[in-house]
Amino acid sequence: MESGNRLKHNGLKNISKKSDDVAKYYDNWATDYDGTLADWRYEAPEQVASMLQAKLSPKSVILDAGCGTGLSGKALHTEGFTTIDGIDVSHHSLEIAGMTDVYRSTYTADLQRLPLPIPDDHYDGLACVGVLTYLTDSLGTLREFSRVVKSGGFIAITQRSDLFLEREFQTVLEGLSSEKVIEQVRISEPRPYLPDNKEFGDQILVHYVGFTVV
């Protein structure tokens, strides 16, 4: 018999992409978010943190873009990173993230509203885990991520397998490469994303994408 957490949030794959709706949805979910994701065997934060660890020094300054309750920050900290900033649209999630003691700072930011309030070349690396679902302007988003990361810095992100195709994500990456915004792009094969969530299971997988900023 499935746990209560596994039965929650039916319709997750199709929730509204409007920022206000996303913020409200995750504000309401924040208190039991970590437990729910653990029940679904969510491993994306650890995978992305490992990608960054393989490319960057532990002294690197990392932006956790869409940090939520801090799962990604904790994974980054476990990999040895000690200077991490977290931004998210959900106030309640940020409150919980701030209590993890792994972030240098956390603050509210709407990743749909570009440019972000961050200077050029401000970070050595950037993690964005489970967030691109809600950022439909893939080209604008990745261009902005590349703006705030220094030349030679590394960005690691996830994208759902269905949206990777629907939004022609590989074409977006190839375009940024041809413009010499990014280089050394690596795209994983589709891997399990939320394997114990009935809506996702073996139907909606995830691509892990990493690239270097030019």
Both structure tokens of 10: 């039916």
CATH number, domain containing residue 47: 3.40.50.150
Task: Convert the pLDDT of each residue in 100-121 to its tens digit.
Answer: 999 999 999 999 999 999 999 9
Closest by CA to 6, choosing from 28, 37, 48, is 37
Number of domains comprising the chain = 1
Closest by CA to 125, choosing from 48, 14, 17, is 48
Q: Which uninterrupted H or E stretch holds 173?
A: helix 169-178
Return the pLDDT at 1.
36
Measured CA angle at 136 (ends 86, 76), to 5 deg = 25
Q: Is 176 helix (H, G, I), strand (E, B) or coil?
A: helix
Give residue 194's domain range.
16-107+116-213
How far apart (Å, rounded) are the C-alpha atoms in residues 46 and 55? 15
In angstroms, the Cα distances linking 6 to 73, 133, 177, 198 are 23, 20, 39, 8
Question: How many residues does the structure list for the chain?
Answer: 214
Return the pLDDT at 8.
65
**Residue that has been written with the tokens 């996702």 in this structure:** 200
Return the pLDDT at 11.
76
Average pLDDT, the chain: 95
Return the pLDDT at 14.
87
Establish if 4 belongs to a structural domain: no
Establish if 201 belongs to a structural domain: yes
86, 67 in Cβ contact below 8 A?
A: yes
Return the pLDDT at 45.
98
Establish if 2 belongs to a structural domain: no
Establish if 10 belongs to a structural domain: no
Establish if 3 belongs to a structural domain: no
Q: Pick out the chain residues at pLDDT < 50.
A: 1-4
Query: Sheet harboring 83-88: ordered strands across?
Result: 105-108, 83-88, 61-65, 123-128, 149-160, 206-213, 182-187
Establish if 149 belongs to a structural domain: yes
**Residue that has been written with the tokens 């943190």 in this structure:** 49
How far apart (Å, rounded) are the C-alpha atoms in residues 28 and 166? 28
Establish if 157 belongs to a structural domain: yes
Return the pLDDT at 13.
85
**Residue that has been written with the tokens 């039991």 in this structure:** 32
